[in-house]
Structure 1
């Protein structure tokens, strides 16, 4: 953990014009990795031993450092370590999604009443578009972020000045911000087997065209009303495709979308060709509820077109939600109590650094800390005497890192409880898997 922290902070050093903000940035990263219940200028300053929040506020608002350059360094650090830990044949996926932060008032850059997933509906807040890097068998973390700014704020000179909007900033949709993130990632040598995203990105024609022009395969969620052109020039919505072409049970195949905490995430899948030989409609149906999800897929002509690959890619969209959960709950991703455009991005970048350090540390510890018992193979199988332990997670890595900085007895106590939790989770995971086997057997009988 300490080695990864030192490696990343050394990589970030050239992005700072002076040593003082560089040292303050290191203290900031350590503070967001701490057990602070709330992370803002005051609490971070107190945590790192400053006499006032002035240095922290200066770091975010006025200090001279290359914010996007720092993001690039974090991206290269995270991707290189995740790639090194993964099997050569494992999928690499870039997941696009936005995350919000509720805000009061109207003085913050980008704030307005809008749909906020964190609020469960319309609320006052800001939204940032993120790119997460996911490598199967290794891990996942955030590697890029951009804040979405409403057009009316960019065109209002007073608002633009008071919230610190760059003079060259132009309005961009979330899909267009995603293009910027992917362009930066490719510039840093990041190679993706698939790009995935929800309906916001699937509905963006500009994004889809950009990906296709660059030969980038994608699996993007689309709405049931999305119109496709099938063979013979027939135009149908996804709902109409379901009603017209998928009437028989044999047209569906049951496959896993990946391994979840409770076992294989199994769904029924259908694969429909369109008029284009490189475009397909992938439909996912929940085996119990029948809930449907539609995915528009592009696979370049020089890449293999096999059903398991887009299914695996579609199943790798959910880790970005887990990354948001870790970022918010463990590192304060949504606790940027600043108002200026650059300050919000700088807080996000420093949280990304903390998240990347813990994600890389968890990946490096996975093989030697994963002692789980073999999964059950029969619904009547007796549980193992020792369920073993799940591998160290980002949350456990963070707890142990903080305990190590106090005293030896605290580390021993934290290690004991970490082992207890991981053993309990391994036991629960084993029983969840057995329950799913029982459900599968009952459906066959």
Structure 2
């Protein structure tokens, strides 16, 4: 094999088998288990559109009925597979300093029959659209990150209409829950299952919810939660707006710290930390802060409510704040590589199973990437294997090698070399333009 071509398809096949074996006991019939494996590989295949029809054709089925049955009516433990996904990700990417990141994403849909769909705001479109929204939980570790849980958001227009819910197969015990409440449930489930994580990060929707913050404090897990500038925080002078509290900070209160490496260099911002007044019954070691981020060029401010059961330095809080973006990367990868948003299912169970299988497919890519980075570091002149690149190679070397039309190693080498040059150029440009503090 030529220099730089260190990919071993056998290792990737073994990792795929490991994941499938881990959840094998959740299926009542061996035929259902095998079909689920084919479905998962179909989600990773190079298909122009991923749905039961195209995945069934790729798997060699004569019609889509078997794949549709797998999602809608087949007997298998969906919640059990969800737990297997969580254990697989947290076991393979294990990190005692991991961050649990919460966020929601929306899928644009037509009509009114698909479960959870109504006109509502979704960040996917950046406006109010006919959409289906779900909240996801990502496990972000030093080795990589992947989603480990999800909950579908059912608006009140659904939960107050029993007939509509019944037609979509929504269980009778499902009641209305806000997005922060869904997030709290997933976080509690993960922590009670023994997930090793020190922090939780989320955006303003979740940072504004006192019940979520209280639950995390009871669980003794730290958090860095974004809040709006008009949110009031406890100080010695009473409740003050976040922007008012930080308006008069002296110059020496700000420190320039990177929130982590980005595609075009380190993400440097100016940061300030303000100690907040703790609750009356707070333990002596517990700490509450307001963390403020300032953009180096525009001066734009962002605010975070922070808690830790023990004192930590500013850099640790900045690290956690920077990890929040891993959930956005997970959304992008799961949608672009594993068809998370391409489902054409309408009912509750089918949605639960489609999203779960797509999360499993993305988790497999994340774990393979983590193992490759650890065991086979990129040679000089190449970037490390990305999930995008692994998906390409997995498709032609493991999933469907008979359809290989060009040398996959040569194309992989060329793409990685090109990306290495681009990244090197970005970092050099940053170094020449970086202003001193």
TM-score relative to the length of structure 1: 0.91
Q: Which residue of 1 aligns with 2:292?
A: 283
Tell me the CA shift for residue 134 of structure 1: 0.6
Residue 112 to residue 409, structure 1, CA distance change in 2 (3 Å): closer
Residue 411 to residue 215, structure 1, CA distance change in 2 (3 Å): farther
Tell me the CA shift for residue 289 of structure 1: 1.4
Tell me the CA shift for residue 234 of structure 1: 2.5
Q: Is the 8 A contact 1:370 1:389 kept in 2?
A: no
Query: What's the Cα RMSD here?
Result: 1.7
User: Structure 1 stretch 161-170 or stretch 18-27: which is displaced more?
Assistant: 18-27
Which residue, 392, 397, 408 being the options, matches 1:399? 392
Which residue, 96, 102, 105 being the options, matches 1:99? 105
- Aligned-partner Cα distance in 1 for 2:85–2:403: 33
Tell me the CA shift for residue 151 of structure 1: 2.2
- Aligned-partner Cα distance in 2 for 1:190–1:281: 27
Q: Is the 8 A contact 1:370 1:390 kept in 2?
A: no
Q: Is the 8 A contact 1:112 1:124 kept in 2?
A: yes
Matched, 1:335 2:327: no
Secondary structure in 2 matching 1:312: helix
- Aligned-partner Cα distance in 2 for 1:225–1:123: 27
Q: Which residue of 1 aligns with 2:3?
A: none
1:8-67 CA distances to partner (integer Å, 9 max, x unpaired)? 111111111222221111110010010112111111111111111111111111111111
Q: Is the 8 A contact 2:378 2:385 kept in 1?
A: no
- Aligned-partner Cα distance in 2 for 1:223–1:14: 46
- Aligned-partner Cα distance in 2 for 1:260–1:9: 33
Matched, 1:6 2:21: no
Q: Which residue of 2 aligns with 1:383?
A: none
Q: Is the 8 A contact 2:90 2:196 kept in 1?
A: no
Q: Is the 8 A contact 1:369 1:390 kept in 2?
A: no
Q: Which residue of 1 aligns with 2:418?
A: 424
1:134-163 CA distances to partner (integer Å, 9 max, x unpaired)? 112x10011111101112312212101101
Which residue, 145, 152, 158 being the options, matches 1:153? 158
- Aligned-partner Cα distance in 2 for 1:16–1:34: 23
- Aligned-partner Cα distance in 2 for 1:397–1:329: 13
Query: How many matched pairs?
Result: 418
Q: Which residue of 2 aligns with 1:258?
A: 260
1:266-324 CA distances to partner (integer Å, 9 max, x unpaired)? 10000001111621000011111112110000111xx2321111110000011111110
Q: Which residue of 1 aligns with 2:5?
A: none
Tell me the CA shift for residue 4 of structure 1: 1.4
Secondary structure in 2 matching 1:444: coil
Q: Which residue of 1 aligns with 2:361?
A: 354
Q: Structure 1: 5+ residue runs without aligned partners?
A: 374-387
- Aligned-partner Cα distance in 2 for 1:409–1:353: 24
- Aligned-partner Cα distance in 1 for 2:221–2:64: 45
Q: Is the 8 A contact 1:154 1:170 kept in 2?
A: yes
- Aligned-partner Cα distance in 1 for 2:244–2:19: 51
Q: Which residue of 1 aligns with 2:436?
A: 444
Q: Structure 2: 5+ residue runs without aligned partners?
A: 1-11, 279-285
Matched, 1:116 2:122: yes
Residue 368 to residue 191, structure 1, CA distance change in 2 (3 Å): closer
Secondary structure in 1 matching 2:93: helix
Tell me the CA shift for residue 364 of structure 1: 0.5
